[in-house]
Amino acid sequence: MASTIEVDQVKHSSGVAFTLPQVDGSAGHLLKTNGSRVLSFVADTDTGIVTIVEDTSPQLGGFLDANGNYIQMQKGGDIASASPTVIDTDGDYFICTGTTGFTTFTVAADRHFFLEFSGVLTMTHGAGTLDLPSGANITTAAGDVGEFVSTAADTVTCVNYTRATGKALIASHSATVGVQTIWIPAIAMVSPDTNGAELNAAETTATRPEIKVLDFDSSTREHAQFSIAMPKSWNESTVTALFYWTHATAVATDVIWGIQGVCVSDNDTIDVAYGTAVVVTDTFHNAAEDLAISPETGAITLDGSPAEGDLAYFQVYRDAAAGGDTTNSTDARLLGVKILFTTNAENDA
């Protein structure tokens, strides 16, 4: 025969008494305390994991399915460039301020972070400490962004680097910013009406190179001129020059070459004076028809106000009357001049 025990509380022998509910709950309901030892039936409203803030080392049992959502990145506070540069833990995208170059990071292992640079600094490549994609140092510019992964504590690989200009870190072409050259053969020059050098040609041996030259007198200062529409990529600063020349006879004496220039812009007069001349002394090799290449001149300042798109006029001469020009027996034969200039862009686009 069934029996019923009627109680309104239950108590553990060494615990507290709980007040039981007076009515039954619905199917699937759970007993819940109100924190004051009163129980009641409530619906099962399991919300799963609400936060893992207190779990400092959570682990997954399989692949993480974002279920149509995404893992949110967070921008941290600005980081001042230093050596080493310290990566904070308040985000994974940082603005790197300052201009102090660095060779290493201070960062925990297994971090994935981004740096947006606000200025110019140099990151120094170092295998095993800071691996850069070019295998060489990177000079940053404002707006450049680097993506980094720390494979171990303080060991970082730059897995991607995007320049603010959109240009590749390693160019797919050979053009680079730096010193470029332009060759002007003697036959492309003109002899001015006043004290102009003499255009000449000489055959070495039949079917061998023909020498097309400008002959410069051994006692009188003579000139030749040429012009160059300077590339847009030119930095509008100083240039230098090399003289390629020869003698018809075997001598081992010196020749002094000089060069000066001026820039003319659109709507400017061409009737302008050349700038300050720069000279260079070269010694011939004591063998007729040998090629002589002078040392590079000092910096040549082009007169006028050099600007993008200018036409640059150059005048070259032999300073035959100078005491240091000791080749008094024969003309110096100019084959051409190489102009060296510096660019500040990879091309003229």
Per-residue pLDDT tens digits for 49-96? 666 667 777 787 888 888 888 788 899 999 999 999 999 999 999 999
**CATH class in words for 179-342:** mainly beta
What is the distance in angstroms between the CA of the first residue and the CA of the last residue of the chain? Answer: 103
- 3-state percent helix, strand, coil for the chain, nearest multiple of 5: 0, 40, 60
Between 42-56, 174-188, 217-231, the lowest mean confidence (pLDDT) is in: 42-56
- The DSSP line for 9-55 is EEE-TTS-EEEPPSS---TT-EEEE-SSSBEEEE----------TT-
- What residue segments make up the domains of the chain, in order of their start? 9-42, 79-162, 179-342
* DSSP-derived secondary structure letter, 232: T
Reported as a single tens digit per residue, the pLDDT across 265-281 is 999 999 999 999 999 99
**Lowest mean pLDDT segment, chosen from 24-38, 140-154, 328-342:** 24-38
Contact in structure between 92 and 120 (CB atoms under 8 Å): no
Residue whose tokens read 């553990």: 12
Q: Which DSSP category does 134 fall into?
A: T
> What is the signed CA dihedral for 299, 300, 303, 307, rounded to 10 degrees?
-70
Confidence of residue 329 (pLDDT cuts 50, 70, 90): confident
- Distance between CA atoms of 247 and 215, rounded to whole angstroms? 9
Q: Write out pLDDT tens, residues 227-249.
A: 999 999 999 999 999 999 998 88
Unique residue bearing structure tokens 């309104």: 8
